[in-house]
Structure 1
Amino acid sequence: MRTGERAGGLGRLIGAAAELGEAGRQAVLRGGRAAVGGRWALTALTSVAPPPVPATEPWKLSVGTLIGRHPLTPAVVHKLLGLLDGLGAVHLGPTKVGFDGEEIEWDKVVEIRTCNAFEVLTTTALEHEVDRIREFLPPVPGRKWVVTKAGEALATVVLAALERGSVDQRLDELTVPTRIVHRGLLGRQRTLDTGSFAAATLVVAGQVGESLIATARSRGIPVRPAEQPAVPAQAARVVTLRERTDSVARLLSRIEQSGPEAVEAAAPQPGVSLDKASTGTGRELNAG
């Protein structure tokens, strides 16, 4: 690698780390409402070098990736962390792309669709994924600890993304790639959508989304906006965003305080500002 290219790559990494560090600071410190225990997830996220733009080699960021970088992760569960990809992951490379444990060959991708982050980052989607955490790991030593850390990682990264929309850039003006349209069996068109963790990662680590879009365009694959629901008035948007941020902060705090035995019960209860907005990505969920 040439010196200039190496320096450029280092500069991008430092810039990405600074961006993530600021997002993390806003997420865990603003108003003292976000639990400080989530710092480890943002530290781990910052330590992952972003992919080149466009992608030149296989790259992945997942819930399991973050837990694997926690200094207290039991050695016995390291080999099982890949099972958490279905809970949240972004896969990217020169030959394949995907979300949440499912990878699609670029040759089969028809188009990439984008959506504004405000419509994707809903509390109902996060609650659903927190409820599913226990499905992804077999009963092995260290499982309870990993279940708690998975909940913390999910909530912390989503909170960081919401905080970015509170203090940095309006989420309804921030576009991220959230749907992969591809050819399935017998050539039938199928779609693959982001979950909460993948969508939040694309918001917080902006270069990941840039790389995905650039890789698609380098292969002649169109990038189109998904159909958007009506955008609420600014005042309503601000209120909804704050409610989502507060709900996720409370969820994170409960996960940390309750421990692994009560992760599934940590989701906000009805009446705690749960949004019912469609995600616009095919993963619509009801709050009831």
Structure 2
Amino acid sequence: MDKDQLLGSTAASADGEAARAGTDPVLDPTPADAAPDDPTGAPPSGIEDTPAKPGLDDLVAGWVGRALDVYPRPGLPLTAHWDASAAGLVRQVPYVPRFATKPLELLDRFGAVHVGPREVGFDGDAVDWDRVIELRTHPAWSSLSADALEANFAQYLSVIPRLPGRGWVLGKVSELLVSLYLAVVPLPDDVARLLEVGDTSDDHTEEGPEEVAERDLFTRRTVTEIVYKRRFGEGERQACTTSVLLQLAFPESTDAMLALAAERGVRVVHVPVDEGEMGATIKRAASWRSAALGLRERFARAEGPTA
């Protein structure tokens, strides 16, 4: 299909969606370097034809992988404010239907990571570094149970009322979260390796750096809590599942938080974990993967393409 045919097909699809929603079918273009789009109703990669040991590109929905490629990453040392959010990544789709604009705006302050020389935070709630007392980190597996993912989905459902375009936005968000989740939660073949302490088997020597990095995402530490001074006493900002997944997708963001904390003399606490709990959690990884795929399918059926 040539470019004109592709654009015509995309516009026709948007016209149909807008007609059902009772709104203007005009599309809002995003910047030229945005990631190419996939069909709105495309299932996340991993549901069908998944190879036995897929890499990152096989696990994520096509548009998600391309959005991650073009999204700016924080440089170190970090000299300017940087943030990432579910809404920001969805906006990398090159033609966002106008009817989806309002629901996207409602997500701007939800499911996000913020870090810069002046402030740090999650979900639209950034705290000035002068008020930050402590950062706490946990390994990713402690925040990524299937129950936590489902609870995060429920939050998105509650944030967006039944406006036109709600289903389109929630469909893209669900593709994003499930794609990022599947890229982190280990495959059955990797579970045994994660459970082996000090393993020196030949299997490790056959893996390249990228494979090792992907497998180790599940145990990588992310900033999950920010303790800060309030007018009276102390407060806490906690990272939701989306915020943890975004830190894993952009590991430079976690590195930037820790580097800025060290620069400002902010205490960093790497919360210790129970090895027994870690083993039990990792063993449940395979069931979590199945639950995530089932959640995506159930979510899509419940919302429909334009609900």
TM-score (norm: length of structure 2): 0.67
* Cα distance, 1:71–1:37 mapped onto 2, change above 3 Å: farther
Separation of aligned partners in 1, 2:147 and 2:108 = 20
Q: Secondary structure at the residue paired with 2:277? A: coil
In structure 2, relative to structure 1, the CA distance for the partners of 1:198 and 1:27 (3 Å cut) is farther
Q: CA deviation at 1:224?
A: 1.1
Q: Does 1:99 align with 2:122?
A: yes
Q: Which runs of 5+ in 1 are unaligned?
A: 1-23, 265-288
Residue 251 of structure 1 corresponds to 295
Equivalent runs, 1:27-38 vs 2, <5 Å? 29-31=50-52, 38=61
8 A Cα contact 2:81 2:115, kept in partner: yes
Contact 2:168-2:306 within 8 A present in 1 as well: no
Match runs of 1:196-211 below 5 Å: 196-211=241-256
Matches within 5 A, 1:214-225: 214-225=259-270
Deviations 1:62-100 (A, max 9, x none): 110111112342134336524214441111111111111
Are the aligned partners of 1:157 and 1:197 in contact in 2 as well (CA < 8 Å)? no
Are the counterparts in 2 of residues 76 and 142 from structure 1 also a CA contact under 8 Å?
yes
Corresponding position of 1:125: 148
**Is contact 2:100-2:168 (8 Å) kept?**
no
Cα RMSD, aligned residues only: 3.3
CA shift digits 1:235-262 (9 cap, x unpaired)? x444212222222133234434x26249
Kindly provide the amino acid, as one letter, of the partner of residue 212 in structure 1.
M
Corresponding residue to 2:183 among 160, 172, 178: 160
1:179 corresponds to: 225
Aligned counterpart, 1:242: 286
Question: What is the rounded CA distance, in whole Å, between the counterparts of 1:261 and 1:41 in structure 2?
Answer: 20
Find the partner of 2:163 among 123, 134, 140: 140
Taking a change above 3 Å as real, the CA distance of residues 146 and 32 of structure 1, as seen in their structure-2 partners, is: farther
| Letter aligned with residue 241 of structure 1 | A
Letter in 2 for 1:197: T
- Structure 2 letter corresponding to 1:198: S
Paired-residue identity, %: 26
Counterpart residue type for residue 299 of structure 2 = I
Check 1:228–1:85 CA distance in 2 against 1; reply closer, same or farther (3 A cut). Answer: farther
Deviations 1:165-214 (A, max 9, x none): 7663345642111111111232x111111111110121232212111111
User: Is the contact made by 1:156 and 1:252 (CA closer than 8 Å) also made in structure 2?
Assistant: no
Q: Name the residue aligned to 1:232.
A: 277
Task: Decide whether the 8 Å contact of 2:114 with 2:122 is kept in 1.
Answer: yes
Q: Which amino acid aligns with 1:63?
A: A
Provide Cα deviations, 1:17-68, integer angstroms capped at 9, x if missing partner: xxxxxxx999994549999783322321222121112321111111101111
1:19 corresponds to:
none
Q: Distance in 2 between matches of 1:71 and 1:182?
A: 38
Which residue identity lines up with residue 218 of structure 1 in the other structure? E
Amino acid aligned to 1:200: L
**Larger Rg, first or second structure (1 or 2):** 2
1:36–1:111 distance in 2 versus 1, CA, 3 Å: closer
What secondary structure does 1:134 align onto? helix
- Aligned-partner Cα distance in 2 for 1:65–1:98: 16
CA pair 173-260 structure 1, distance change in 2 beyond 3 A = closer
Match of 2:87 in 1: 64
Q: Report the CA distance shift for 1:249/1:222 in structure 2 as closer, same or farther (over 3 A).
A: same
Distance 1:82 1:218, change over 3 A: farther
Alignment check: 8 A CA contact 1:162 1:245 kept: yes
